[in-house]
Structures are given as structure tokens and as C-alpha cells.
């Protein structure tokens, strides 16, 4: 069942603004306590509403952004300037306005296996806290209309165990290789904000509320001890 905080919003602007405010609070508190903040964000359309709030000039000096690391939960294996590249949409809307932020791009054009291995090493080098599983301070993610999270679709074999933080997956339904963070890493975050936008996704969310998990990959997030905030529009 869903145990986190659930917030309903009435407009996409309210959705983006509320998540922005929650993120700023978590970032500020973490920097004050630890002097560094590490976050992972997903692709797709859901985060774009939040990136647009970040891009407003009045927010540029809100924090010491040099202490912030931004990672990407998953990436399509497309050329670096391809319109479906998750990083590119994030950079064009948000990150290009924040040159102090240290961002970490998944270089899928190197090939899915090579880029997955390289990205895992990069995560380890930044989040090296000598713990069993690396831990992000915050993961901000959406879900797909089939309930997929990251690049873990309903066809993914969730019964297998993996010691890796990052994995190369072939998504048969999309006929595409992708590089994605794995469930153990996603479920080990300190904080998570999960955005839900649109009728089909709200239906999945209500199924989760009613403990009707079906074959939804997003249901796999419910076994985490992370402090979750679900924001619904």
C-alpha cells in the first residue's frame, strides 16, 4: 500500500510549483546538513512541468547550486542530439540556466553495455558513502501510462536479482535499447517525489491506493523505506 504523503493539485502550474518547492526544501536541508546534494531525475513529460519552474530567473540564486549533482534515471539509446534524448530536454529547459550544477549524463551513444558500466562507476564515485547500496538524497520521477518506471516496463523480469545500480535493457515493446537505474537503487533513496499526470496514470495510482497492483512496475516502489511524496494532477 502507499504509505507516503499524497498531494492533489488542480493545475499543471500548481503541480510544477509544488514539486519545485518540495525539491528546494529537501536540497536546502541536505546541503546544510552534509554540504552536498545528489539527485536523480527521470525522463518523459512529467518532469518538464517542474523544469519550467526552475528555469524562471527569480530562482537562479535560491541556493548554492555548485553543491548539487544531477543524475538521470534512464536514457534512450539514441544519438546525443536526438529529440528523444532525456538529458537534452532537461538541459534545454533547465540545466543550461544553472551552469554551477554538476550534471552527469548517460552516454548511451557509446553503446548500451559500455555506457551502463561507465555510469555505474560514475554513481559510485560521487555517492561513495561506504554503504551497501548507493543512496540518492532525492529521486524525482514519473511513471508511464502502462505503469512503467525508469526503463523498467511490464515485460521486465523483476524476479531476477541484480547487484548493479545501472543496467542495459532491451525494451521489446519499444524495439529499443535503454540504460536504466535498477530497482534496488531506486528503492534505496532517502526521499522520492513521484509525479502523476493524466487520466490513465491517475487510474493506475488509484489502483495502488486500493492495493490492486496488477502488473504495474510502479508497484515495485512500494517496498521502499524512502520518504515518498506523491503529487497528483
Give pLDDT tens digits along the chain (233 positions). Answer: 888 999 999 999 999 999 999 999 999 999 999 999 999 999 889 999 999 999 998 998 889 999 999 999 999 999 999 988 999 999 999 999 999 999 999 999 999 999 999 999 999 999 976 677 899 999 999 999 999 999 999 999 998 888 899 999 999 888 899 999 999 999 999 999 999 999 999 999 999 999 999 999 999 999 999 999 999 99
Looking at residue 160, its pLDDT comes to 86
DSSP strand pairing (166-171 vs 176-181): antiparallel
Smallest CA-to-CA distance from 44 within 159, 220, 178 is with: 178
- 4 DSSP assignment: S
Domain 5-232 has CATH 3.20.20.70: no
- b vs e for 141-155, b when ≥16 Cβ sit within 10 Å of the residue's Cβ? bbbbebbbbbbbbee
Is-contact 192 227, C-beta < 8 A?
A: yes
Distance CA 102, CA 62 (A): 16
pTM > 0.75: yes or no? yes
Amino acid at each position: 500500500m502507499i504509505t507516503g504523503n499524497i498531494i492533489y493539485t488542480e493545475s499543471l502550474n500548481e503541480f510544477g510549483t509544488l514539486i519545485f518547492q518540495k525539491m528546494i526544501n529537501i536540497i536546502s536541508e541536505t546541503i546544510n546538513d552534509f554540504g552536498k546534494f545528489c539527485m536523480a531525475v527521470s525522463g518523459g513529460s512529467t518532469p518538464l512541468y517542474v523544469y519550467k519552474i526552475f528555469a524562471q530567473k527569480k530562482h537562479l540564486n535560491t541556493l548554492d547550486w555548485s553543491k548539487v549533482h544531477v543524475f538521470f534515471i534512464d536514457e534512450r539509446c539514441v544519438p546525443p542530439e536526438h529529440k528523444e534524448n532525456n538529458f537534452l530536454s532537461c538541459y534545454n529547459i533547465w540545466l543550461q540556466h544553472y551552469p554551477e550544477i554538476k550534471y552527469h549524463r548517460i552516454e548511451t551513444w557509446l553503446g548500451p553495455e559500455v555506457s551502463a558500466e561507465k555510469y555505474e562507476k560514475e554513481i559510485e564515485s560521487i555517492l561513495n558513502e561506504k554503504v551497501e547500496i548507493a543512496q540518492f538524497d532525492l529521486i524525482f520521477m514519473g511513471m508511464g501510462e502502462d505503469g512503467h518506471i525508469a526503463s523498467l516496463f511490464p515485460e521486465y523480469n523483476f524476479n531476477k536479482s541484480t547487484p548493479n545500480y545501472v543496467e542495459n535493457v532491451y525494451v521489446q515493446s519499444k524495439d529499443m535499447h535503454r540504460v536504466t537505474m535498477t530497482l534496488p537503487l531506486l528503492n534505496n533513496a532517502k526521499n522520492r517525489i513521484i509525479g502523476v499526470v493524466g487520466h490513465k496514470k491517475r487510474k493506475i495510482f488509484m489502483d495502488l491506493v486500493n492495493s490492486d497492483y496488477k502488473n504495474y512496475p510502479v508497484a515495485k516502489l512500494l517496498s521502499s523505506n524512502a520518504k515518498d511524496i506523491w503529487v497528483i494532477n
